[in-house]
Structure 1
Amino acid sequence: MSAFDSFKDHSKEGKVFFSRALIAFLVVILLMGVLISRLYYLQVIQHDQQAAKSDDNRVQLKPVGPTRGLIYDRNGVLLADNRPSYSVTLLKEEVKDIDATLAELEALIPITERELKSFRKRLKQRRRPYETVPLRFRLTDEEIARIAVNYQRLPGVQVEADLIRYYPYGASLVHAMGYVGRINENELKRVDGTNYSATHYIGKLGIEKFYEPLLHGSVGHHKVETNARGRVMRVLERTDPIPGRDIVLHLDIRLQQAAEKLVAGRRAAIVAIDPSNGGILALVSTPGYDPNMFVTGISSKDYNALRESRELPLFNRALRGQYPPGSTIKPMVAMGVIDSGLISPNHTVHDPGFYTLNKGGRRYRDWKRGGHGKVDMEMALYQSCDVWFYDVSNRAGVDVISDYLGRFGFGQVTSLDLPEALPGILPSRAWKKRTGRGSWYPGDSLNLSIGQGWMLATPLQLATASSVMANRGIWKQPRMLKGVVQQPAVAEGELQNTNLEAGAGIERNSLLEGSVIDITGLEGTGAVLPDVQLKTPEYWQKIIDGMIAVVHGKRGTARKIGKGIDFQIAGKTGTAQVVGIKQDEEYDADKLDERHRDHALFISFAPADKPEIAVAVIVENGGGGSSTAAPVARGVIDAFMALKQADQEKELQHAQLGSPQAALSIVQLAPGDQP
């Protein structure tokens, strides 16, 4: 047998083949067993769990943002609306190449570097799966059409409709109401992430910020069936969102516009308050800016222009402007020194035009060169005699003056719902030591008594103090909110009307008398002060008589504004120095730069016997309070009285026609119309 024949052992080859085939068969059987057992485990044992996972991939819980509540003035005029806007968004899960998609979109519609930067920042933020990320807002019809015809080349790109805030009165109300803007990552950390999962905007300032919990509403959810690409195929279940509450402010847009017109072109602030309830009727700070620019994001160019303007349009003078109050605090100072019992209400001084603490010492000058002669308290008020206040403050001391000024709200925030308000500065012995300025000196008391020195107050505080004086000490906390509109049991589409014309009011059958809920006692940001209780209540009328003489007396500093009216105004002029004047110099406005001239101030309330409005005015670098600020206050009061009469006549007409007026009726007032 040859060596070649040994390779022809068929029996041995058969055995080898059989053994190999058997091993392969067993391996196949084993693998099939593993597969079958795995299938059994997945299909039987873990059926419920896997079915749930399958539903999770197929069924998505999509949040639905609520409609933001509307804001109305006291007469039902719409101040903050919701308007439809279209934006282009990207669904990250469907976009294969973000940069390439963005490049294609840039070829179709204009996209700024700022918008691209904001988009990439939002893309990195925490979000739900299959949640779109906005790229550009407020698309035009032409831009929407360009994107629509190119959908097949832009997977993951969508055009979505959204409701955005719109302020029909623009700059007129920005410092009174604030505005909403794009919600950022820090704000998302402070709110309920679930409730804001479909919300793109949040209140940034003012009323919009303070009442965010009321205005926002509650998020809804839609359970939707999606395909493998995440596209919604159908809605399986829906839980509709609860819209935000509509709120009504004490503000009267007609009075607001009238007041704004009186200080147009000037750096000024006006605050008008209803003494009976603390409601803020007007809150003006000029110049202002259009809040609509901030809603979807302001451009760097526009923002820098606002920020770098010498007129400071972003600065809320009414709430954050801290000015020396000047002589406007003299009624409160006079009240303090006589009610304390340290000074008689019949106290008189001789005013030669200056006051000295020591013979031959520093002269504290009166505003009137040559002085006023013999001066009592009433004359000191209506002629604003500084020397009388120098004398009584030196006799009474700082503790009494600081105490009584604090009772009127100076040195603290007392408003309910204006979180941007500043407290000003109310100097005292403790304050001076606490701030490292040393001990208190008699000269400090003299400066404080005429509203100069370290004391600072905001226009809101001056209006508040005037309101307390008008109420004879009864405190009504200043507030913007009048009430919350009670939501009737109607369909959401009927309740949330987003198609109102700019400035139009509302007329809903369900909003009858009493449908505005009072919110007295709502917890706010400011201190709630007790009523000012005098040891001698008769002193209220003495001080108020002096304030009436300011306007209606023959020698009152504001007597020019007291002509031609059939009611009395109680007021007090004030002039606050911006730069110091040396003792041997005289104030000459013509020689000073305009921004170094005195501020003009005036506080008032009317009618003096039954006050219905309290007004504070400051005109920066306006000069004398009697010549500049007082006429503005008179204009505000005149506008208020004229509006009151017009409303009474309208109510009378409704009564004669037998058609009761709704609490919030239609007010056809376009933003450009005059009151």
Structure 2
Amino acid sequence: MPQPIPLKDHEHDARLVRARVLVGAAILLALALGLVARMFYLQVIQYEHHTTLAENNRIHVQPLPPTRGLIYDRNGVILADNRPSFSLTVTRERAGDWQQVLDVIVEVLALGEEERALFERRVRQGRRPFEPVPVMFELSEEQIARIAVNQFRLPGVDVAAQLVRHYPQGAHFAHSVGYVGRINEQELKRLDTINYSGTHHIGKTGAERFYEDVLHGQVGYEEVETNARGRVLRVLKRTAPIPGRDITLHLDLALQKAAEAALGGRRGAIVAIEPATGGVLAMVSQPSFDPNLFVTGISFKDYAELRDSIDRPLYNRALRGLYPPGSTVKPQVALAGLDAGLITPLSRVWDPGFYQLPGNTHKYRNWNRSGDGWVDLNLAMARSNDTYFYDLAIKLGIDRLHHYLSGFGLGQRVALDLFEEAAGLMPSREWKRLNRRQAWFPGETVITGIGQGYMLTSPLQLAQATTLIATRGRWTRPRLLRDAAGLSPEQLMAQGLLEPRETPPDLVAKDERYWDQVTQSMVEVLHGPRGTGFKVGKDSVYRIAGKSGTAQVVAIRQGERYDRDKLRERHRDHALFVAFAPAENPQIAVAVMVENGESGSGVAAPIARQVMDAWLLDEQGRLKADPGGMRPAQENMP
């Protein structure tokens, strides 16, 4: 029997379709409302936030490092300038796999593993995000071309033109002007990161370090628009940087060269000071080095050669070299004896060639073993008679010796702006008790009177102590800076650009004639017929007040004589000489130290004479009317 054919229910189908349409429409409406709500949230509620994000992707703030101030000598000769240089920079955030990029750089430029390690160390150094880091300086034209050809392989790598510090006088002022170098991690922690944005170098030594805040300037900024690859499309806003101040030093290039020539390649130091101002006219430490090696990063090989050299070219002998002053402190000891009322210029001491403490058999030898007989102040200074000053030291005692000699700056930092200066040592009872846990012995007072024993001084301190004799006790701290854009060091301190430093009180003698008496005794050293420096001063057209000295490097046993042939060259005595001239109107004070030079009067004194001649005499050998006057810069150019 056939089955009935069911009829289609069009009404049911219609209801089903309508239900599905309504559900679909509701879903679409809900999705649309969600999309609209999300768009409203993003574009209205979160408008400022996302606008800022978009602008940050498109607009960047780039620091504009200031131009470092220049450094001149007193006559306008440039000692430190800035020269354009093409540098290779890497921006880590744009480079992606920056280590692979460094590998490509090394491959493209055909460099070695040493350079690769240096590049990585520089990139890893802390800095602001998106700040380009220079990894290589002074690119050649060939290197620039290779980078340009391979630019597609070097994301985040650019060639930038920068100003790099340069020292046109080379090694002449390495120990005084100093040098700049790359900012290291320790320096980065203490620097103002905002003001040093974009700056990669900082003063490391000398005037460059001490006057860093004056030379550096103030950073500027640029707002730039960039594309997706980080390339600058246009500059939107610019705040120009404020360049650092130019500074002028008291140093004189011609005198510096004359002093170096006088030293003649020997190891040693020379410091020349202008008594009226305290200005350092010349500061030599030999051997020296080329500071340009340090500016963009010295190679391991070059640094190892300087560091490991037996002659220590990196060591600043003028400031950090500490040596027993020997007889060069006898003028200060003499003034102490006069001022304390223990001697007069006519007081005499019998010299049999040695000195003995009462009740002691030990003999403190005079350099002249046969003795000088009866000696007064002038003869004792002229002959550098040790016995006279042994006796005077005992009369003074260590307490008064320490008091008077400390007043001359011995055993302390005397300079105003010489950063690396060492303090030295002026011994006392308290010092020995604290450092040696021992009492002070009379024999130690004896040898302190001739600048031996524990006493240690730098050539700068000896130059300052001599300057104080020349100025009759008027204290002015030695300084390199003459002015910074018209401002003196004291004015810079008043404006807060330099840390203030007090000047010690002037030395006031009980009788002003004591200064003249000590000066006259020093004149006898070079112009008296029995003076140890008579051969040096006899033909001078001006009068020189000076004092020679010899400092032992190794001790000699009681009763033995100094025999140079039995000593290695570096164990021989140091030669020292201090002087100022003209004696009546001092224009220059000089301290000379020659390592292992043996004879103060025979080796160091002629050097001091050449330095003073270079400052005081003209080409015809006549006294200049104004030795410190400004000279045209071209006269001093190399």
Report deviation, 1:6.
10
* 3-state SS, counterpart of residue 84 of structure 1: strand
Structure 2 partner of 1:632: 607
Structure 2 residue 41 is the aligned partner of structure 1 residue 59: no
Aligned AA for 2:601?
S
1:75-107 per-residue CA deviation (whole Å, 9 max, x = no partner) reads 000000101111111222332332332232222
* 3-state SS, counterpart of residue 242 of structure 2: coil
Structure 1 partner of 2:538: 563
In 2: Cα distance, 1:361 partner to 1:74 partner: 57
Report deviation, 1:219.
0.5
Give 1:634-673 correspondences, 5 Å limit.
Answer: 634-642=609-617, 666-667=633-634, 669-671=636-638
Aligned AA for 2:460?
L
Give 1:355-366 correspondences, 5 Å limit.
Answer: 355-359=355-359, 361-366=361-366
Which range moved further: 100-109 or 379-388? 100-109
- Name which of 537, 540, 550 aligns with 2:512: 537
Which TM-score applies when normalising by structure 2?
0.94
Preserved CA contact (<8 Å) 2:328 2:549 = yes
1:560-589 per-residue CA deviation (whole Å, 9 max, x = no partner) reads 111322210000000011111111211011
Preserved CA contact (<8 Å) 1:416 1:524 = no
Aligned AA for 2:211?
Y
Which range moved further: 98-107 or 536-545? 98-107
Structure 2 residue 415 is the aligned partner of structure 1 residue 415: yes
Structure 2 residue 488 is the aligned partner of structure 1 residue 518: yes
Preserved CA contact (<8 Å) 1:413 1:527 = no
* Cα distance change of structure 1 residues 418 and 358 upon mapping to structure 2, 3 Å threshold: same
Preserved CA contact (<8 Å) 2:103 2:116 = no
* 3-state SS, counterpart of residue 590 of structure 1: helix
Aligned AA for 2:363?
R
Report deviation, 1:51.
2.6
Report deviation, 1:61.
1.0
In 1: Cα distance, 2:30 partner to 2:196 partner: 54
Structure 2 partner of 1:92: 92
* Cα distance change of structure 1 residues 19 and 399 upon mapping to structure 2, 3 Å threshold: same
1:465-491 per-residue CA deviation (whole Å, 9 max, x = no partner) reads 011100011111100000012xxxxxx
Give 1:424-443 correspondences, 5 Å limit.
Answer: 424-443=424-443
1:205-261 per-residue CA deviation (whole Å, 9 max, x = no partner) reads 110001000100000111111112211100111111111100000000110011011
1:128-181 per-residue CA deviation (whole Å, 9 max, x = no partner) reads 333222221111111111111222332322111111110011111000111000
* Cα distance change of structure 1 residues 651 and 563 upon mapping to structure 2, 3 Å threshold: closer
- Name which of 551, 560, 565 aligns with 1:585: 560
* Cα distance change of structure 1 residues 236 and 78 upon mapping to structure 2, 3 Å threshold: same
* 3-state SS, counterpart of residue 33 of structure 2: helix
Preserved CA contact (<8 Å) 2:270 2:592 = yes
Structure 2 partner of 1:493: none
Preserved CA contact (<8 Å) 2:466 2:580 = yes
* 3-state SS, counterpart of residue 318 of structure 1: coil
In 2: Cα distance, 1:285 partner to 1:218 partner: 34
Structure 2 residue 207 is the aligned partner of structure 1 residue 207: yes
Structure 1 partner of 2:584: 609
* 3-state SS, counterpart of residue 583 of structure 2: coil
Report deviation, 1:14.
5.8
Structure 2 partner of 1:619: 594
Aligned AA for 2:634?
V
Give 1:480-519 correspondences, 5 Å limit.
Answer: 480-485=480-485, 516-519=486-489
- Structure 2 stretches lacking a partner, 5+ long: none
Report deviation, 1:21.
4.1
In 2: Cα distance, 1:17 partner to 1:528 partner: 103
Which TM-score applies when normalising by structure 1?
0.89
- Structure 1 stretches lacking a partner, 5+ long: 486-515, 653-661
* Cα distance change of structure 1 residues 650 and 536 upon mapping to structure 2, 3 Å threshold: closer
Structure 2 partner of 1:245: 245
Give 1:101-140 correspondences, 5 Å limit.
Answer: 101-140=101-140
Preserved CA contact (<8 Å) 1:326 1:451 = yes
Aligned AA for 1:611?
P
Give 1:444-483 correspondences, 5 Å limit.
Answer: 444-483=444-483
In 2: Cα distance, 1:141 partner to 1:670 partner: 30
In 2: Cα distance, 1:310 partner to 1:533 partner: 44
* Cα distance change of structure 1 residues 459 and 2 upon mapping to structure 2, 3 Å threshold: farther
Structure 2 partner of 1:34: 34
Report deviation, 1:16.
5.2
Structure 2 partner of 1:574: 549
Aligned AA for 2:504?
L
Structure 2 residue 521 is the aligned partner of structure 1 residue 551: no
Q: What percentage of residue pairs aligned between the two structures are identical? A: 51
Structure 2 partner of 1:385: 385
Preserved CA contact (<8 Å) 1:414 1:527 = no
In 2: Cα distance, 1:543 partner to 1:437 partner: 36
Preserved CA contact (<8 Å) 1:273 1:463 = yes
Report deviation, 1:669.
4.2
Aligned AA for 1:473?
G
* 3-state SS, counterpart of residue 236 of structure 1: strand
1:602-634 per-residue CA deviation (whole Å, 9 max, x = no partner) reads 000000000000000000000110000000000
* Cα distance change of structure 1 residues 412 and 260 upon mapping to structure 2, 3 Å threshold: same
* 3-state SS, counterpart of residue 243 of structure 2: coil
Preserved CA contact (<8 Å) 1:119 1:133 = no
How many residue pairs align between the two structures?
632
In 2: Cα distance, 1:2 partner to 1:547 partner: 152
* Cα distance change of structure 1 residues 669 and 581 upon mapping to structure 2, 3 Å threshold: same
* Cα distance change of structure 1 residues 651 and 151 upon mapping to structure 2, 3 Å threshold: farther
In 2: Cα distance, 1:25 partner to 1:52 partner: 37
Preserved CA contact (<8 Å) 2:253 2:636 = no
* 3-state SS, counterpart of residue 601 of structure 1: strand
* Cα distance change of structure 1 residues 341 and 668 upon mapping to structure 2, 3 Å threshold: closer
Report deviation, 1:17.
5.3
Give 1:5-16 correspondences, 5 Å limit.
Answer: none
Aligned AA for 1:667?
Q
Preserved CA contact (<8 Å) 1:416 1:525 = no
Aligned AA for 2:71?
I
Which range moved further: 579-588 or 147-156? 147-156
Structure 2 residue 365 is the aligned partner of structure 1 residue 398: no
Structure 2 residue 312 is the aligned partner of structure 1 residue 342: no
In 2: Cα distance, 1:606 partner to 1:475 partner: 18
Give 1:259-278 correspondences, 5 Å limit.
Answer: 259-278=259-278
1:482-540 per-residue CA deviation (whole Å, 9 max, x = no partner) reads 0012xxxxxxxxxxxxxxxxxxxxxxxxxxxxxx3333363558652111001111111
* 3-state SS, counterpart of residue 617 of structure 2: helix
